[in-house]
Amino acid sequence: MSQRAAYDTFAAAGMKTLGGVYMYVSHCGLEKTLVDLVYLRSSQINGCAYCIDSHSHDLLKEGVSIEKLVLVPAWREAGPIFSERERAALAWAEVVTNVATTHVPDEDYAAAVAVFGEKGLADLTIAIGLINTYNRVAISFRKTPESVKALASA
């Protein structure tokens, strides 16, 4: 797979603006590991190889175990390996990422806001919207995962 276009060059101002949102999420008070789990889960749903690769590596660097990492797609069946907060974030990531089919039901909102509060849930939703945007850009322009680049240069 090769990248279709250097979108980050052609739309540098737009990518810089997305970077500003990324910085907001990084400093909003949500735990980095929690945000990266959400980024990973949304990227898995969207099938974004670049972002799956990137956020998997981020989580490993943060000390998340391989066992936990591989169970992200099946987090509901993974038992206590995911905390209550992580399960709530992953559930919210799924319902928001699949908004076209879920329409984000009231009961899902109520469950998520009970864990995160209104500000926390707004911040989490911004994070999910951001990764969904990054997924769409990376998939559309066929951004090559760093692991693939490393294998090609080895």
Q: For residue 53, what are its two tokens?
A: 């690769």
Q: How many CA atoms lie within 13 A of 47 on its CB side?
A: 3
CB 43 within 8 A of CB 131: yes
For the cut 80, the answer to whether the pLDDT of residue 153 exceeds it is no
**Which tens digit of pLDDT belongs to each residue from 107-144?**
999 999 999 999 999 999 999 999 999 999 999 998 98
DSSP 91: H
Where do the domains of the chain lie, and which CATH numbers do they carry?
7-153 (1.20.1290.10)
- Look at residue 67 in the predicted model and tell me its pLDDT: 97
In sequence order, which ranges of 62-141 are alpha helices (DSSP H)?
66-70, 84-97, 99-102, 106-140
**Which tens digit of pLDDT belongs to each residue from 10-41?**
888 999 999 999 999 999 999 999 999 999 99
Cα distance between residue 154 and residue 144, in whole Å? 15
pTM above 0.95, yes or no: no
